Structure 1
Amino acid sequence: MGISLDSLTSLYSGQATDASSTTNALENELTNTDYSNSTSEELMDVCKQFEAYFLEQIFKGMEATVPETESSSNSMSSLTDYYKDMTIQQVASDATEQGDGVGLAKMLYEQMKRNYGIED
């Protein structure tokens, strides 16, 4: 049982709506979740997820400034875009997990600890 090019292309075509739903889900989670009972580790994980999402959006904005080249087929272009998006997500996640990333997660973590009165 193999994966066809058409199934991957249709999977990618749903990515635009997935990005919007991901943004809405993240916003709902942040506004409707009480983090006062969270552990420091859970809180830092949420902050890292936010930083990775933030970096992903920055990288996608940067990538959008690169001029496009003509591709041979529409389905290959969609497939290439799909893998480009997956690579950007992974790079953003790796940048957050390794070292301090841009430091946004740490700043959010410290602020949320103060706001929710969480002790280390």
Structure 2
Amino acid sequence: MNINPISASTINKSQYEKSKVEDNAFEKIFEQAKDSKDEEKLKDACRQFESVFMNMLMKNMRNTIHDDGIMEKSYAREMFEGMLDEKIADEASKGEGMGLAQQMYKQLAKHMK
């Protein structure tokens, strides 16, 4: 069962298509890590998943903020905010992150042996 909290009505079509591509990419990464029995690949895949999860979380939190008009909403601003969220999520998932990657790794590593 694939649960995707992003709906096409809340984001534009290109972002929706990108999220679908990312879902498929992670499935491939997990399958490759599982098939090769490489623990480092599995750890990296779990970290990448945590990064994507945190990025989605930040985007959804940003959508709850009302636009006050200090800076007008524009395509350039949306692109900047999207790249900023992505970079923050990637950096935050390094090291210990929020712990999601470690928990996923513990669960998935049991099935690799």
| TM-score normalised by L of structure 2 | 0.74
* Letter of the structure 2 residue corresponding to residue 18 of structure 1: K
- In the alignment, structure 2 segments of 5+ residues that lack a partner are 1-11
Name the residue aligned to 1:88: 85
Q: Equivalent residues in 2 for 1:38-77 (5 A)?
A: 38-70=37-69, 77=74
Identity of aligned residues (%): 23
* Letter of the structure 2 residue corresponding to residue 100 of structure 1: E
Name the residue aligned to 1:19: 19
Which is greater in Rg? 1
The alpha-carbon deviation at position 40 of structure 1 amounts to 1.4
User: How many pairs align?
Assistant: 100
Kept in 2, the 8 Å contact 1:13–1:78? The answer is no
The CA RMSD measured in Å over matched residues stands at: 2.5
Larger relative contact order (Cα-Cα within 8 Å, sequence gap ≥ 6)? 1
For residues 10-41 of structure 1, what are the alpha-carbon distances to aligned partners after superposition, in whole Å with 9 as ceiling and x for unaligned?
xx984443233323x2354267x251423211
* Letter of the structure 1 residue corresponding to residue 53 of structure 2: F
- In the alignment, structure 1 segments of 5+ residues that lack a partner are 1-11
Name the residue aligned to 1:103: 99
Tell me, in whole angstroms, the C-alpha distance in 2 between the residues paired with 1:111 and 1:28. 16
After TM superposition, which residue ranges in structure 1, 4 or more long, deviate above 4 angstroms?
none
Kept in 2, the 8 Å contact 1:59–1:88? The answer is yes
